[in-house]
């Protein structure tokens, strides 16, 4: 009995943490590392459909995921350059890569044309 209770408490703790984490996912994010290429990103639309670590691929599942720019810099270093993080045509971590892969599989997807993400104001 004691064991059952401690498992229940452990489970409640895990669920509680999960809920707190889900609550930290932002509704909208503006990517503006390059002021000439600002992108409004509907984060909720995406985080409702995909696991966090599909995009936050280095996240340890504790605390807040780090911004892509923390590692992906203007020029390639330990991580591929910033441009590649969003336009890599193969990787599901990248905006364009995921949209392309889903289109290939005939699934509902997002845009791959420049102007659809880089909206002129």
Q: Identify the residue among 27, 60, 78, 105 touching ligand HEC (CB under 6 A).
A: 78
The number of residues in the chain equals 121
Q: Identify the residue among 26, 28, 61, 76 touching ligand HEC (CB under 6 A).
A: 26
Helix (H, G, I), strand (E, B) or coil at 29: strand
Helix (H, G, I), strand (E, B) or coil at 110: coil
Mark residues 29-48: x for contact with ligand HEC by CB under 6 A, - for none. Answer: x-xxxx--xxx-xxx-xxx-
- Please tell me whether residue 82 binds ligand HEC under the rule CB under 6 A: yes
- Please tell me whether residue 24 binds ligand HEC under the rule CB under 6 A: yes
Separation of alpha carbons 69 and 88, rounded Å: 15
């Amino acid at each position: 009995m004691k064991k059952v209770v401690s498992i229940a408490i452990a489970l409640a703790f895990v669920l509680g943490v999960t809920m707190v984490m889900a609550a930290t996912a932002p509704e909208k994010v503006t990517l503006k590392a390059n002021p000439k290429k600002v992108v409004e990103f509907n984060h909720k639309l995406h985080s409702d459909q995909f696991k966090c670590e599909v995009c936050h691929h280095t996240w340890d599942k504790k605390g807040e995921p780090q911004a892509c720019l923390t590692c992906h810099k203007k020029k390639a270093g330990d991580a591929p350059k910033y441009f590649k993080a969003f336009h890599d045509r193969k990787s599901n971590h990248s905006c364009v890569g995921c949209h392309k892969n889903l289109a290939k599989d005939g699934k509902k997807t997002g845009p791959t044309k420049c102007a659809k993400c880089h909206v002129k104001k």
